[in-house]
Amino acid sequence: MMSEVDSFCCPACQPDMLAVCCDGNRKHYRFRKSRGTEEPSLYEGLFIAKDDEVLSFLEKIRGSSGARANDSGTCGVSRFRASKETSNKSSSKIDEEGIQVAVCRHGVLLRALNHYRGEIFAYPMFIQKDMAERANVTFFAMDVICKYWPYLSKVADNFTDMQPLMEMRPFLSVMHAKAHTAKCEVRWGGRNQDGAGNTVGEEVEQVCYY
């Protein structure tokens, strides 16, 4: 917060938010050989979540839930890389493999975290939990919500603190829905969600173009 203005809070829709869109961007990577600094960050945890907090959350979910996702990543004839429960760390020279970002339907940046193991379900789940604690969110939009939501349901059965996440409503991003099966689009597609209005659920894609 600078000059008493929270740059990562939408003045138009918080605290009662109609929709939050969450997606990954693998273009924001960092090479292992890149030189860092020993000085502490001035903005640590302000927008990009602290790595140790994310890691602790991942270990909790993957180690204790017993939930298993369908890792095939397919919906009809389409295969989605983001539709995974687990992923091995890249063997390339890359350290941070990307970034997960959440924005509101107005395109305001809300929260992010660094990817170290590709796009796995625990990353958007961490952000969803963070947003649930900060605002009243009606719809949670993703491009693989048809795979993510059943997995979230299993996790919520094992962790009481995750159950409030199920109070949000799943929303399949409108453009990505065209790559899913017709049955999937009818059930999860944003255009078919009562009360969603003209929400697109592709706001992260728009933000990443800037």
| Measured distance CA(171)–CA(146) in Å, rounded | 9
Span of 22-26, 129-133, 193-197 with lowest mean pLDDT: 22-26
Give the pair of three-digit tokens for residue 179. Answer: 């790559």
Query: What is the structure's pLDDT at 95?
Result: 56
* 51: in domain: yes
| Measured distance CA(204)–CA(23) in Å, rounded | 6
* 126: in domain: yes
Span of 34-48, 87-101, 104-118, 152-166 with lowest mean pLDDT: 87-101
* 39: in domain: no
- What mean pLDDT do residues 179-194 have? 93
Residue 176: CB partners within 8 Å, gap ≥ 6?
A: 143, 144, 201, 202
* 2: in domain: no
Query: What is the structure's pLDDT at 43?
Result: 75
* 196: in domain: yes
Query: What is the structure's pLDDT at 162?
Result: 96
Query: What is the structure's pLDDT at 124?
Result: 96
- CA-wise closest residue to 123 among 17, 43, 23: 23
**Domain of residue 109, residue span:** 16-30+44-208
* 35: in domain: no
* 20: in domain: yes
| Measured distance CA(10)–CA(20) in Å, rounded | 11
Give the pair of three-digit tokens for residue 64. Answer: 């204790």
Question: Is 90 exceeded by the pLDDT of residue 30?
Answer: no
φ, ψ for residue 138 (rounded to 5)?
A: -85, -55
pTM as predicted: 0.83
| Measured distance CA(63)–CA(78) in Å, rounded | 30
* 37: in domain: no
Question: Is 60 exceeded by the pLDDT of residue 64?
Answer: yes
Could you give the number of structural domains in the chain?
1
